Chains A and B, each alone.
Chain A
Amino acid sequence: MTFDRRLFLGGSLATLLAAGAIAGLTGPVLAAARKDVIIGVRLEPPHLDPTAGAAAAIGEIVYANVFEGLTRVDRTGATKPALAESWTISEDGKTYTFKLRAGVTFHDGAPFDATVAKYNLDRARAPDSVNPQKGVFAPIETVEAVDPVTLKVTLKQPTGNFLFGLGWPASVMLSPTSAADAKTKPIGTGPMKFVNWAKGSSVELGKNDRYWGTPIKIEKAVFKVIGDASASFAALMAGDIDAYPLYPAPETLDQFRADPRFKVVVGSTEGETIVALNNGRKPFDDVRVRRAVSHAVDRKLVIDGAMFGLAKPIGSHFAPQNAGYVDLTGKYPHDVAKAKALLKEAGVAEGTKLRLVLPPPDYARRSGQIIAAQLKAVGLDVEIVPMEWAQWLSDVFKGKNFDMTIISHVEPLDLDIYARDDYYFDYKSPAYRAIYAELAATVDQEKRLSLYRKAQERIAEDAVNVFLFMLPKTGVWNADLQGLWENAPIPANDLTEVSWKG
């Protein structure tokens, strides 16, 4: 009966032998001064043209690395000069004269000058433009290339955050001849140029030797798409990637903290995470009901339970790291009795059914379960409805077919959404709109800050939504890697200051 055993050994051991053979081929690699960096990202970008798609995954690869705009947003969220060296703003706040950097060329050799800048701004505001942030360009009346290094932009009305908007990923400058193919072959002016995109797997960037500014310290950057939380843990631990700037598995952070090979950096984003309430329909058209649920939600418990205690609480729609912030987190303390009293006063019966729609991100799914339980404690019968992203956009965001939903608003300084006519949470307050209209037309910084405060207070007073926390940015990277952003004022992995110790 030796026959069986032979067959068995030949078959099953093949696996083990194959695995064993590999051991010999992968010895330890000698540590030399590294010039490359491998970064893990959660979502693969649909394409690489930030002027034609909203996905944060696009900016996380190309912003500041491949593409630059007239202005840029730096690691603190401040607006800084980029392709525009400087600018002057006319007395009436309507005319911006940009002095452009001379001698800048695109990766394809084409020169960058005022005509190119005009082309890009005109392209973004054209009727057939598919720019995801077209609102940034809406105030523009005319764009004029005065001479190769002077660009004059005239606005219809003074616009306070126009320069900030020009620093967003959607406002970057493309080489005109490359614009049609920018989705697959992005050509910009940045310190890195696009090399290769292995679809579904990784995007590779290489150093641009003809960069106009401070040369970048690394030669090569690879962005690897690792969507699965446990796979990103394994990839970091195995050393397959050097950094995961938006690390998706907070429950494993302690293992990285305990390991000297890694640095764990918890920063913040601009993402105000809220339980959005449908102000346009019953029962949330009544401010007493909105205040009742604000009292019913125990923010601290949500942050500890769903976010592993890593998130900063907020009491209105404004990020604590921005100038002009007011701490309103104490406005509606957790108070079950008060919540019940307010509901009773508003005539909301015990056991009223409400739907809480949860889009896919972990923060929403995890917080949602805790909040549903907390609302049940004050007598509301909350049904959790998990929904995928595309359906959330069409049903909730566009169709306004929801009672409550949980979402993080990641656009920076987005107070304007509370003044919009047809926005999904349907807040219609003339008082707030007056404040916002004044803010939008104000250029003076001191005055803007006081209006920011007024706007935050108005929103909190009306308890428009339940304000939970700022979405944290939990980054894990190799302890020898320096220069990555700790916070995420905009979705970006700016590599311009990244280098290896040693």
Chain B
Amino acid sequence: MLSFALRRMIALLVTLAVATVLVFTVLEVLPGDPAQVMLGTEARPDTLAALRDKLGLNQPAPERYLHWVAGLVTGDLGVSYTYATPVAELVRDRLAVSLPLAVFALALTTLIAIPLGAWAAARRNSAVDVGVMAATQIGIAAPNFWLAMLLALLFAITLRWLPAGGFPGWSAGPWPALRALILPAVALALPQASILARVMRSSLLDTLGDDYVRTARAKGLSAGQALRRHALRNAMIPVLTIMGLQFSFLLAGTIIIENVFYLPGLGRLVFQAINQRDLIVVKSVVMLLVASVIVVNFLVDVAYAAVDPRLRRRG
């Protein structure tokens, strides 16, 4: 077990190192000059040269790469070209929006999907099942930004219950901040919940047909009891896998929803930084996201191996 974790750890470090090279190279070949973007069309050549010098863009690429990696290792992410603010500070501020939003959306997803999927599976081929399947089909097909606009139209413009967007910051108190996240979280959660509910339903249907469920019924348990005590737990494994994927999607992939509700999240930070060629921000944030995905995968691998001894010998 220990050697398995060690091997996985080495693989993790190699993957991270390769990722830094890839991220750096891709941004090197990206056309566009950060200094020109910052100073605009009226900038004179000497002014551009002066700014490039101040930003350290005149050093050769390998030197800049090593400097960046050294910074990553020591936890110094550098200072944003355009914002003139430490990147770590920018990321921390954005995570304060993106992380709670992702957690909130995932919680809603789970609260909606699991009971709904279970209900549909238990009443297979009934009106309930057909209704759930139809509703989730629509939920998957509807683009979340369109859903977001409809929600804003209803709850912000017509009913005036919730703000149409923006984020007051946690300093304004937990309630105003949470309130600002309700519509975005619902818009994110509904399509995800549709996917998860369908996974839940088919997974549960699979386990309901298994021998041990039949045995449980033969022992005298009701259909509901058998479902709750035996089938449900086993059906959760694929559901948890999907939830893991959904969480990383919700953390990094919320950019469209962030735009519709003008939330200052991580996705918009990256988007804006790419447009303004604030490469130091792009590099560091992309690396951070890559690292989080790789680390989560590593933890999942190790956890699977802990559960299932057969996996340890491979790896």
Contacts and interface: CB of A to CB of B under 8 A. Distances in A.
B264 A199 contact: yes
A46 B47 contact: no
Contacts of B198: none
B166 A240 contact: yes
Interface stretch (B115-123, B212-220, B234-242): B115-123
Interface in B263-302: 263-265, 268-269, 272, 275-278
Given A134-B43, A394-B36, A231 B261 contact: yes
Contacts of A240: 156, 163-166
B42 A234 contact: no
A47 interface: yes
B37 A12 contact: no
A429 to B, nearest CB: 21
A151 to B, nearest CB: 24
B41 A11 contact: no
Contacts of A388: 32, 275
Interface stretch (A15-23, A328-336, A464-472, A478-486): A15-23
B11 interface: no
Given A200-B93, A240-B165, A14 B111 contact: yes
B223 interface: yes
A200 B268 contact: yes
A44 B258 CA distance: 14
Contact of B119 (A4, A23, A129, A133): A4
B223 A1 contact: yes
A22 B224 contact: no
A372 B169 CA distance: 46
Contacts of B164: 231, 234-235, 237-238, 240
B286 to A, nearest CB: 17
A240 B164 CA distance: 7
Contacts of A15: 108, 111-112, 186, 189
A22 B166 contact: no
A26 B228 CA distance: 41
Contacts of A130: 39, 47, 50-51, 54
A176 to B, nearest CB: 18
Contact of A46 (B82, B116, B157, B179): B82
Contacts of A5: 119
A183 interface: yes
Contacts of B269: 200
Contact of B40 (A54, A227, A394): A54
B233 interface: no
A382 to B, nearest CB: 22
A475 interface: no
B264 A201 contact: yes
A391 B47 contact: no
B114 to A, nearest CB: 7
Which residue, of A12, A23, A201, A237, has the highest number of chain B Cβ atoms within 10 A? A201
B260 interface: yes
Contact of A26 (B83, B90, B160): B160
A46 B83 CA distance: 5
Given A4-B224, A224-B166, A237 B42 contact: no
B37 A393 contact: yes
Contacts of B82: 46-47, 53
A128 interface: yes
A230 interface: yes
12 contacts: A1-B122, A15-B111, A19-B161, A23-B161, A46-B83, A53-B82, A132-B47, A224-B262, A226-B165, A231-B152, A240-B165, A391-B32
